[in-house]
Amino acid sequence: MMSTDSVAQHAAESDGQSASRDSVVEVCNLHKSFADVHALRGVSFDIPSGAVVGFLGPNGAGKTTAIKILTGYLAADHGCAKICGHDVETQPMQAKALVGYLPENNPLYLDMRVEQYLSFAWQAQCQQNAESKSQAIDRVVCATGLQSVYRRNIAACSKGFRQRVGLAQALLHDPPLLVLDEPTNGLDPLQVVEIRELIRNLGKSKTVILTTHVLPEVEALADRVVLIHQGKKVADGSLQQLAQAGDGAQARVVVAGTKDELVQLLNDVGCEVVQALNAPLGSVKNCGAIVRLPGSGGSKALAAISAAVAQSNLSLLELNSQTGTLETLFKDLQTGAVSA
């Protein structure tokens, strides 16, 4: 199981590292309640310029509430959120001007042509910019690949192209921060690949916050993950840090011998069998298991397994460490292995 203390340590280390660099996003001690439901309970994190951050949590964790506060749609009960130093509550216009937001439901005027909608969006939010309307629209159309549907009614566009239109709107005023809420929700596999590639390219020049339930999407796009649960931040770090956090390290063990002998040996050295392996390495004479390593895992735990096998009637055929995954951490949250 994942140790809460170890995960919290990684979160603290990440906060310290982020604070040492110029932050595009600063969130400090956010609290928000709806009647007797505490949606956020002291959430804090910083995001430096140029980062692509996956913002994750089980349903009801509080991530949507945090995003709505960050983008100015909700006011916090306590705490503050800043975009490039501008407080979203006391300096709302300055803060909002620095954010491009693509909501999950991607509200569009379907009876408009793409060109009309982008012109309307520019007039609503970009008239104070130095860039002309034609320059801004040309830039976002090229960036999002909308050339082929530029004069088409939005209602006649596929959902993939509609997502591109929403992204183009978010990019019109050339903000340093993009907030994308479930950007590939409802897309077919080809459209998902296309939108992910678009987000990957945007991340080269923008700071991106990506909220999603699709864990492979975060692993494909994000270089950092902020994970919240029951209104609290429970993990914050790179994918590698989270995979190695706590005592969730695992190993694959294969021996020549019986299953009962192997299970007894693993229990004796404090390993928990996560999954039994049937006829590993192509032989029914072999048995194996994926095990969760005791303590902090690592080389000492592997050495203990190797030594125990050497003193038994079994023959060791394979012993490899396997780091945890983002999916493992997410499941641990939902099953209570990590508490908020």
> 120 near 112, Cβ under 8 Å?
yes
Integer Cα distance of 311 and 293 in angstroms: 19
115 and 165 in contact (C-beta within 8 Å)?
Answer: no
Rounded Cα distance between 293 and 301, Å, is: 6
Local structure of 190: helix, strand or coil: helix
The pLDDT value given to residue 326: 64
How many other CB atoms sit within 10 Å of the CB of residue 138? 13
Instruction: Tell me if the pTM is above 0.85.
Output: no
Q: Is 170 helix (H, G, I), strand (E, B) or coil?
A: helix
Question: 280-296 pLDDT, tens per residue?
Answer: 887 888 999 988 888 65
Q: Tokens at residue 107, please?
A: 């509200």
Token match 């009876």: residue? 111
Is the model's pLDDT at 18 over the cut of 80? no
Q: If you average pLDDT over residues 121-138, what whole number do you get?
A: 87
Query: What is the per-residue pLDDT for 13?
Result: 47
For residue 245, is pLDDT > 80? no
Phi/psi of residue 128, nearest 5 degrees? -85, -5
Nearest to 215 by CA among 70, 334, 42, 338: 334
Q: Alpha-carbon distance 157 to 12, whole Å?
A: 45
Residue 1: the pLDDT is 38
Q: Inform me whether the pLDDT recorded for 20 exceeds 70.
A: no
Mean pLDDT, range 12-38, rounded to an integer: 76
Q: What are phi and psi of 218, to 5 degrees?
A: -65, -45
Q: Which of 70-84, 209-223, 317-331 is most confident? A: 70-84
Residue 10 has pLDDT above 60, yes or no: no
pLDDT tens digits, 185-213: 888 888 889 899 999 999 999 999 998 87
Q: Mean pLDDT in the chain? A: 85
Confidence category of residue 56, pLDDT binned at 50, 70, 90: confident
Using CA atoms, how far apart are residues 324 and 215, in angstroms rounded to an integer? 14
Q: 241 pLDDT exceeds 80?
A: no
Identity at 27, one-letter amino acid code: V
Separation of alpha carbons 338 and 330, rounded Å:
9
The pair phi, psi for residue 291, each rounded to 5°, is -125, 150
What whole-number distance in Å separates Cα of residue 208 and Cα of residue 200? 10
Q: Can you tell me the distance from the alpha carbon of 80 to that of 102, in angstroms, rounded to the nearest whole number?
A: 22
User: Could you give the residue range(s) of every CATH 3.40.50.300 domain in the chain?
Assistant: 4-244
Burial of 97 (0-12, 13-18, 19+ CB in 10 A): middle
Q: Which amino acid is at 22?
A: D
Where do you find CATH 3.30.70.260 in the chain?
250-323
Taking only the tens place, the pLDDT of each residue in 135-152 is 999 999 999 999 999 999
pLDDT at site 330: 66
Share above pLDDT 90 across residues of the chain, in percent, rounded to a whole number: 56
Say how far residue 129 (Cα) sits from the centre of its chain: 32
Contact 218, 110 (CB under 8 A): no
32 or 251, which is more confident?
A: 32
- Across 1-10, 38-47, 125-134, 225-234, least confident range: 1-10
Q: Work out the average pLDDT over 28-37.
A: 95
Short-list 230, 178, 211, CA closest to 336: 230
For residues 61 and 127, which has the higher predicted lDDT (pLDDT)? 61
Backbone region of residue 178 per phi and psi (left: phi > 0; alpha: psi in -120 to 50; beta: other values): beta
What CATH class does 4-244 carry?
Answer: alpha beta
Average pLDDT of the segment spanning 159-174: 94
Domain spanning 250-323: which superfamily?
Answer: ACT domain (3.30.70.260)
Q: Residue 214 above 80 pLDDT?
A: no
The pLDDT, as a whole number, for residue 130 is 77
